[in-house]
Amino acid sequence: MLTWQEARRYHNNQKGIHQRGGQILSICASFSGEKRRYHDQLLSEDLMIYIGEGDLTKPQSDTYGNLALKKAKETGTIFPVIAKWNENQYEYLGKWQVIDWEYSPLHGFPAHYRFLLRRVEPPETETRKAKEIICSQGNFHPQKVSYEIERILRDTRVIQELKVLYNYTCQVCNIPLNRGIGDPIVEGHHIMPLGKPHNGPDIAENVVILCPNHHALFDIGAITIDVAQKRVIHVDPNDSLNGSIFVLKHTINEEFVNYHNKYIFKGSIW
Ligand SMILES: [Zn+2]
């Protein structure tokens, strides 16, 4: 951990966003929840959501900091980021870039900027390990990335609330996937998918909360649920998940499960 004096080597500015002449120089992300109910969010070692400049009592405007971050996406600018974990506890997180941003109201707050940042260069001690990871990602597909971004930036309010209801724990395995920092990893899945051609609704009755593994199984149609019996059904009857308990604390509309069974689930329902 660094003190503020030490952290100033990377971010010599009192504001979260340090820019000069519209050029981003560095940012300080705040993961300390003491004062702000809604703060920046580290999604993984290499991905974070950074909330734009300006308080959240009114819509955020195009301040110099927000403009500089938007421009940084266009220019591909790479800049150092420090994290504030607590009072006088900072950490240098390496160099990052803006890969997308969105401006809209979310979670009951007026319109604000959410910048999606990706780390391109970790702090020195981790450089080698990360280089291997970056090499292995050399062939990523843009479509896949934009889907990921959409999912991350637009986690709907319904999903946010359900994640809290389930205490960030998968309804299938009931295991919180601890990532060491912040809330466990859990994802909202729309049983009748949003968007074409399914056009499912974004309502709680159409959403389940799953860990990434079980989300994948749901997506490819390897599992479904029996709402009345609160059980998981696996396409492979011998799989240990088949017949296991499905944790259910909110109402699911079976119409959506029927849709999943008919068009997505690979097995037969008896
Ligand atoms: Zn799970």
Ligand 1 centroid, distance to 72 Cα (angstroms) = 37
Ligand 1 centroid, distance to 170 Cα (angstroms) = 5
pLDDT band at residue 140, thresholds of 50, 70 and 90? very low
Ligand 1 centroid, distance to 227 Cα (angstroms) = 17
**So where are the chain's domains?**
4-154, 158-263
Does residue 113 carry a pLDDT above 60?
Answer: yes
Ligand 1 centroid, distance to 173 Cα (angstroms) = 4
Ligand 1 centroid, distance to 245 Cα (angstroms) = 12
List the end-to-end C-alpha distance of the chain, in Å, as a whole number.
57
Ligand 1 centroid, distance to 187 Cα (angstroms) = 10
Ligand 1 centroid, distance to 231 Cα (angstroms) = 13
**222, two tokens:** 């390897």
Instruction: Give the per-residue pLDDT at 138.
Output: 43
CA–CA distances in Å: residue 174 to residues 162, 223, 237, 248, 269: 14, 15, 20, 11, 24
Instruction: Give the per-residue pLDDT at 190.
Output: 93
Percent with pLDDT over 70 in the chain: 86
Higher pLDDT residue, 151 or 66? 66
Ligand 1 centroid, distance to 175 Cα (angstroms) = 6
Highest mean pLDDT, choosing among 41-55, 64-78, 121-135, 144-158 = 64-78
Instruction: Give the per-residue pLDDT at 33.
Output: 58
Fold category of 4-154 in CATH = PUA domain-like (2.30.280)
Ligand 1 centroid, distance to 228 Cα (angstroms) = 20
Instruction: Give the per-residue pLDDT at 135.
Output: 40
Of 67-71, 77-81, 149-153, minimum mean pLDDT range: 149-153
Report the mean per-residue pLDDT for the chain.
85
SS (HEC) of 43-82: EECCEEEEECCCCCCCCCCCCHHHHHHHHHHHHCCCEEEE
Instruction: Give the per-residue pLDDT at 173.
Output: 96
State pTM to two decimals: 0.50
Does residue 139 carry a pLDDT above 80?
Answer: no
User: Cα–Cα distance between 70 and 240 in angstroms, integer?
Assistant: 48
pLDDT band at residue 134, thresholds of 50, 70 and 90? very low
Ligand 1 centroid, distance to 210 Cα (angstroms) = 5
SS (HEC) of 133-164: HHHHCCCCCHHHHHHHHHHHHCCCHHHHHHHH
In tens, the pLDDT along 54-66 reads 888 899 999 999 9
In tens, the pLDDT along 169-219 reads 999 999 989 888 778 889 999 999 887 788 888 889 999 999 999 999 999
189-194 long-range contacts, CB within 8 A, separation 24+: 189/215, 189/218, 189/219, 191/218, 191/252, 191/256, 191/257, 191/259, 191/260, 192/256, 192/259, 192/260, 193/264
pLDDT band at residue 151, thresholds of 50, 70 and 90? low
**22, two tokens:** 């519209």
Does residue 130 carry a pLDDT above 50?
Answer: no
Ligand 1 centroid, distance to 252 Cα (angstroms) = 18
Ligand 1 centroid, distance to 248 Cα (angstroms) = 13
Does residue 74 carry a pLDDT above 50?
Answer: yes
Does residue 141 carry a pLDDT above 70?
Answer: no
Ligand 1 centroid, distance to 195 Cα (angstroms) = 24
Ligand 1 centroid, distance to 171 Cα (angstroms) = 7
Ligand 1 centroid, distance to 209 Cα (angstroms) = 9
Q: What would the mean pLDDT of 41-57 be, rounded to a whole number? A: 87
